Amino acid sequence: MPLICIKSLPFEDECDIPNMIKGITTDLSRATDISIEHITVTWEYIPSRHYAVAGLMPASQPQNGSHPILVDLHAPSFHKMDSVEAMMQSVAFSISKRSGVSFSNIFINYRKVASGHVFDHGDVVRWK
C-alpha cells in the first residue's frame, strides 16, 4: 500500500514526470520487495512563487539548499522502522536520480496508517 505523494515547484527544464513516477515505483518495489501493484505514486506541482521557505518564493525548483521536494509517504503500521527507513531512502534516492535535485534537498514525512484507517476496493482494509 505505500502511497507516495510528491510535491515540488515546476522544474526550470522540461521533466518527464510520468516516466519519473514509473521509475520511482519500480525502484521502491525492487528495494523493498513490495509488489509493484501495491505502490501508488503521485506528483503535483506547487505553483511558482506559492512555496515559501524563510520568506523566499522561487519560480522553479531549486536543485540544492532551499525549498526541498516535499514527500508524504503513507504506509501501513505493520512496517518496522528499518523497513520505513529503507522506503524513505529508496524514494529519496530515486527522486534525486531522476529529477537532478540533490538527495539532501528532499524532505520525506512518514505517515503511519493504522489498520481500519483505509478504504480501498469498496471496503475498509484491516491487517494484523
pLDDT tens for each residue of 85-121: 999 999 999 999 999 999 999 999 999 999 999 999 9
- What pTM does this model have? 0.94
Contact 43, 6 (CB under 8 A): yes
* CA pair distance 26, 67, nearest whole angstrom: 26
Dihedral sign computed on CA atoms, order 104, 109, 115, 118: negative
* CA pair distance 112, 40, nearest whole angstrom: 15
CATH of the domain at 18: 3.30.429.10
Contact 92, 101 (CB under 8 A): no
- The confidence score (pLDDT) of residue 128 equals 81
Closest CA to 2 of 76, 71, 56: 76
Return mean pLDDT, the chain. Answer: 96
Q: Which amino acid is located at 115 in the chain?
A: S
Residue 124 counted as domain residue = no
Residue 110 counted as domain residue = yes
* CA pair distance 8, 67, nearest whole angstrom: 8
- The confidence score (pLDDT) of residue 83 equals 95
All three cell numbers of 16: 518527464
Residue 80 counted as domain residue = no
- The confidence score (pLDDT) of residue 65 equals 80
pLDDT tens for each residue of 57-93: 999 999 988 999 999 999 999 999 999 999 999 999 9
Residue 90 counted as domain residue = no
Lowest-pLDDT range, 2-6, 25-29, 62-66? 62-66
Look up the domain containing 54 and give its range. Answer: 1-69+100-119
Residue 49 counted as domain residue = yes
pLDDT tens for each residue of 35-61: 999 999 999 999 999 999 999 999 999
- The confidence score (pLDDT) of residue 36 equals 97
Residue 109 counted as domain residue = yes
Query: Percent of the chain having pLDDT more than 70?
Result: 100
In the chain, the number of structural domains is: 1
Let me know if 89 is exposed, middle or buried by CB neighbors in 10 A (0-12, 13-18, 19+).
middle
Predicted confidence band of residue 126 (pLDDT cuts 50, 70, 90): very high
DSSP state of 101: -
